[in-house]
Each structure stands twice: as C-alpha cells, then as structure tokens.
Amino acid sequence: MPDCARASNGARTGSRQERRRYIPAMTSQPLTLRRLAPADVTLLRRLNALFGDALAEPETYGAVPPDDAYLKDLLAKEHVVALVALADEDVVGGLVAYELDKFERARREVYIYDLAVAEAHRRRGVATALIGRLRELAARRGAWVVYVQADHGDEPAIALYAKLGTREEVLHFDIAVEPRWGD
C-alpha cells in the first residue's frame, strides 16, 4: 500500500480510510466522501439500509445480513470499493464497486454494482461526487474505465450516467447457480 500523504484539502491520500470534504451543488451542507475500511462495518450496515430503502429492496439488503467478520474481510479487499457520502454522521449516499482484472489486455475495469442517494439529498451532486471519487481511485489503480448499468425507466440514473459517460445498448441476464449437493 502506498505511503499516505496530505492532499490540499487535508485528506490523507493513499490510505484506505480516505476522506474528502466537499459542498455539493444546491446545498451549503458539506459532505464527507469516505472509502470504507475493515473498521467501518457499522457504516457499511447503514449503507446497506440506505440501498434497501432507496432501491425499494429491503429484503435483499437487510433480511439476512452477513456477520461482522465477513464484512471486515470484504472491506479489506483492494478490489472491493465501498464509498459513502456522510452529512455529519448520517450516510446520505454511497456506492459499491468491484475492480475486475481483464484477460484480453493487461488492464482493469471498475463496475459500479450499487449506487444510491437518500431521497432528501438527491439532485444535489452527491452521486456525481461519489462517481468522481471512484474515478480517482480507479485511475490510481490503473483501471481504464468505470462502468455501470441502469434499469429501463430509471430516468434520473440514465441522465446522470449519460452526462458522465457513453451509453451502450446491452442486455443483462441473471443465470442461476444450481446448488451442488454432496460436496
């Protein structure tokens, strides 16, 4: 892991627990962007609750939560990125992304798996700031692209992603994994 340094805004760079303060558009309330580290399990649980609420999937994000050891191990992995936007101590937005090493070239891609902002904080630049922070982390890790999918009809997400990147027409398929018995 690289040595830590101080950025001009006072945030430590090169640290898994980086924090960046910013004031999003359309509000005077400063937010802190923070990459979660193994000690941040409580914040990750709060982010999962936000995902459940914002994505209208409380069962997916809260019905069978993993134990603390699992979450600490997950947050310790360099290829797993969990970012939160904090207003004081409240998680008001966040994303989870995964770094993928590629076979066709010696390069990486970063996939945004989940992204959500609390309803009271939407349309204020929080998601844009989170993606911007992820782009900085991705560049530092040698990734060539960050990509994300949006659901048909999710016009705010589609507008945001179109503003930041290039739209591709693709189809997404979930392929079930059959449980193996007798292993």
**Residue 30, pLDDT score:** 87
Provide the percentage of residues in the chain whose pLDDT is more than 90. 74
Q: At residue 57, what is the residue type?
A: E
Contacts of 47 (CB under 8 A, 6+ apart): 36, 82, 84, 91, 94, 96
Domains identified in the chain and CATH numbers: 5-164 (3.40.630.30)
The per-residue pLDDT for 13 is 39
Q: At what angle do helices 41-54 and 68-76 cross, to 10 degrees?
A: 90
Q: What does residue 82 show for φ and ψ, rounded to 5 degrees?
A: -120, 115
- pLDDT score at 14: 43
Inter-residue contact 96 to 114 (CB < 8 Å): yes
Average pLDDT score over the chain: 86
**What is the number of H-type helices and E-type strands within the chain?**
5, 8
- Write down the pLDDT at residue 6: 26
Give the pLDDT band of residue 49 (cuts 50, 70, 90). Answer: very high
- Dihedral sign for Cα 29, 34, 38, 39, please: negative
Reported confidence tier of residue 59, pLDDT bands at 50, 70, 90: very high
Q: Which residue has the higher pLDDT, 94 or 170?
A: 94
Q: What is the mean pLDDT of residues 90-110?
A: 96
Q: What is the per-residue pLDDT across 144-174, written as a single tens digit (0 to 9) for each? A: 999 999 999 999 999 999 999 999 988 888 8
Residue 99 has pLDDT above 60, yes or no: yes
